[in-house]
């Protein structure tokens, strides 16, 4: 304590000197910062502040036309493009739903917007649940009829209505025609009752090496069991048997025969001689729809089939065509094979490769691009 009393004046003087030094240093630092700030100047490069009024001049020329007209493309909520007029007094547009301009009387021109370019307007595709920007979705069937959206739309049908579709008979074509030569031979007969005979014959199809022996009742079958029918598909019938003969040079010649139907032309098989053998060319055809639902059927002459809720009968089958007629109608239709143009129309469009490369293309890759 004696030391502090003896040196207190010196200690206070030292503290004052230290405070004065700190104050001088702070003032010098502030001056240096001000000088640095004063030395910085903002340099702005010269700018071209001219304005291009060419678009405004073009718009002004359009609006001052007599009458002023401008093409306006509506938003997605009104998917039509219209040519609308402008009120010459206040330059306001006429109502978008107006059919005629109230100022010049001009009819409003509408054009349905087709964003995908597939031929169907956007608003229809949207109502059908399709993508207006996808040009490929119109090549599908959405109503279960087998006809594509584009095909039905172009022909005035509703592609969403399963009951509205083109008549299937328009697309009926011959897929192929098969021919086979069937041979017959009379072998004998047995009388089982008055005017009732059992006839024995042999028949051979082209894919058979051996003859097949058949025994059928000749004439009408009152039992309804088709006992007079024979053949691989019961396509032939023994309609009746005629027992007859004549004397030739003092010798009895048997002229008995059985009448066979089922071929295009009925024929007789006699008991003796060369006339006891006969052959017929039997044709079958496969019909199909080249467009629409999947449908095909193998038919023979005199057979019937249903299509479009109608019944058709096969009148005849030729080498390349099939003649049919609607039931209870004398009008006949000749069905032919599908042409190359029809098959091309029915084929789905080829899809473009997603990656831009065709199958089988080759290209070089620089390994360095991955590093």
Domain membership flag for residue 274: yes
Give the torsion sign (CA, 215, 218, 222, 226): positive
Same domain membership, residue 278 and residue 185: yes
pTM score, whole prediction: 0.54
| Phi, psi (deg, nearest 5) at residue 201 | -135, 170
Percent of the chain having pLDDT more than 70? 68
Q: What is the mean pLDDT of residues 96-123?
A: 74
Higher pLDDT, 261 or 360: 261
Alpha carbon distance 126, 132 (integer Å): 6
Same domain membership, residue 236 and residue 298: no
197 C-beta neighbours (distance < 10 Å), count: 20
Q: Pick the last residue of a domain from 248, 282, 316.
A: 282
Same domain membership, residue 276 and residue 186: yes
Q: In this predicted structure, what is the pLDDT of residue 57?
A: 61
> Are the C-beta atoms of residues 107 and 100 closer than 8 Å to each other?
yes
Domain membership flag for residue 341: yes
Same domain membership, residue 199 and residue 263: yes
DSSP bridge pairs for 100 = 107
Q: Please say if the pLDDT value at position 165 is more than 80.
A: yes
**Greatest distance between any 2 Cα atoms in the chain:** 190
Same domain membership, residue 296 and residue 262: no
Q: In this predicted structure, what is the pLDDT of residue 51?
A: 57
Q: Which of 58-62, 68-72, 306-310, 349-353 has the lowest mean pLDDT?
A: 68-72
Q: What is the mean pLDDT of the chain?
A: 79
Q: What letters, b where the CB count within 10 A reaches 16 and e where it falls short, cover 7-28?
A: eeeeeeeeeeeeeeeeeeeeee
Q: In this predicted structure, what is the pLDDT of residue 62?
A: 54
Alpha carbon distance 292, 297 (integer Å): 15
Q: Which residues contact 358 (CB under 8 A, 6 or more apart)?
A: none
Higher pLDDT, 200 or 95: 200
Alpha carbon distance 333, 321 (integer Å): 10
Same domain membership, residue 184 and residue 273: yes
Q: Please say if the pLDDT value at position 6 is more than 70.
A: no
Domain membership flag for residue 84: yes
Alpha carbon 277 to its chain centroid, in Å, reads 53
Give the torsion sign (CA, 140, 141, 146, 151): negative
Domain membership flag for residue 263: yes
Q: Please say if the pLDDT value at position 78 is more than 90.
A: no
Same domain membership, residue 288 and residue 258: no
Domain membership flag for residue 327: yes
Alpha carbon distance 204, 333 (integer Å): 33
Q: What is the pLDDT of residues 315-360, one digit of tens each?
A: 999 989 999 999 888 899 999 999 999 999 888 877 665 555 555 5
Alpha carbon distance 189, 243 (integer Å): 10
Q: In this predicted structure, what is the pLDDT of residue 65?
A: 53
| Cα separations in angstroms, 324 against 243, 266, 288, 356 | 37, 20, 14, 49
| Cα separations in angstroms, 168 against 172, 202, 294, 360 | 7, 42, 11, 40
Domain membership flag for residue 157: yes
Q: Which range marks the domain in which residue 312 is found?
A: 170-176+283-346
> Which among 22-26, 57-61, 181-185, 244-248 has the top mean pLDDT?
181-185
Domain membership flag for residue 50: no
Question: Tokens standing for 27?
Answer: 């003032």
Determine the Cα angle at 142 with ends 136 and 146, to 5°. Answer: 95
Q: In this predicted structure, what is the pLDDT of residue 168?
A: 94
Same domain membership, residue 278 and residue 197: yes
Q: Please say if the pLDDT value at position 201 is more than 50.
A: yes
Q: Please say if the pLDDT value at position 172 is more than 70.
A: yes
Domain membership flag for residue 367: no
> Which among 55-69, 85-99, 221-235, 352-366 has the top mean pLDDT?
221-235
Q: In this predicted structure, what is the pLDDT of residue 42?
A: 45
> Are the C-beta atoms of residues 285 and 298 closer than 8 Å to each other?
yes
> Are the C-beta atoms of residues 197 and 186 closer than 8 Å to each other?
no
Cα dihedral: 214, 218, 221, 227 (round 10): 0
Q: How many domains does the chain have?
A: 4
Assign 284 to helix, strand or coil: strand
Same domain membership, residue 131 and residue 100: no
Q: What is the mean pLDDT of residues 164-182?
A: 94
Q: Which residue's structure tokens are 């010798």? A: 251
Same domain membership, residue 183 and residue 272: yes
> Are the C-beta atoms of residues 102 and 94 closer than 8 Å to each other?
yes
């Amino acid at each position: 304590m004696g030391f502090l009393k003896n040196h207190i004046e010196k200690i206070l003087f030292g503290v004052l000197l230290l405070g004065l030094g700190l104050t001088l240093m702070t003032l010098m630092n502030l001056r240096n910062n001000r000088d640095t700030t004063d030395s910085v100047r903002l340099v702005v490069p010269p700018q071209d502040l001219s304005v291009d009024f060419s678009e405004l001049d073009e718009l002004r020329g359009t609006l001052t036309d007599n009458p002023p007209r401008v093409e306006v493309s509506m938003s997605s909520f009104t998917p039509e493009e219209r040519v609308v007029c402008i009120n010459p007094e206040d330059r306001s547009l006429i109502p978008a739903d107006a059919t005629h301009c109230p100022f010049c009387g001009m009819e409003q021109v509408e054009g349905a917007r087709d964003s995908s370019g597939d031929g169907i307007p956007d608003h229809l595709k949207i109502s059908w649940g399709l993508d207006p920007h996808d040009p490929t979705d119109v090549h599908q069937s959405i109503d279960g009829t087998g006809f594509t959206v584009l095909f039905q739309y172009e022909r005035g049908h509703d592609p969403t209505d399963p009951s509205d579709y083109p008549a299937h008979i328009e697309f009926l074509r011959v897929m192929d025609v098969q021919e086979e030569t069937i041979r017959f031979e009379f072998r004998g007969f047995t009388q089982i009752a008055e005017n009732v005979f059992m006839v024995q014959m042999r028949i051979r199809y082209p894919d058979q090496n051996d003859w097949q022996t058949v025994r059928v009742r000749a004439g009408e079958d009152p039992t309804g069991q088709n006992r007079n029918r024979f053949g691989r598909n019961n396509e032939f019938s023994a309609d009746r048997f005629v027992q007859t003969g004549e004397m030739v040079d003092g010798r009895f010649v048997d002229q008995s025969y059985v009448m066979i139907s089922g071929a295009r032309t009925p024929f007789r098989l006699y008991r003796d001689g060369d006339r006891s053998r006969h052959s017929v060319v039997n044709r079958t055809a496969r019909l199909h729809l080249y467009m629409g639902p999947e449908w095909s059927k193998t038919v023979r002459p005199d057979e019937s089939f249903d299509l479009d809720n109608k019944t058709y009968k096969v009148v005849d089958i030729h080498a390349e065509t099939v003649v049919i007629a609607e039931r209870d109608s004398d009008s006949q239709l000749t069905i032919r094979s599908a042409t190359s143009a029809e098959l091309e129309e029915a084929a789905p469009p080829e899809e473009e490769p997603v990656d831009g490369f065709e199958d089988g293309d080759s290209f070089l890759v620089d390994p360095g691009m991955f590093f």
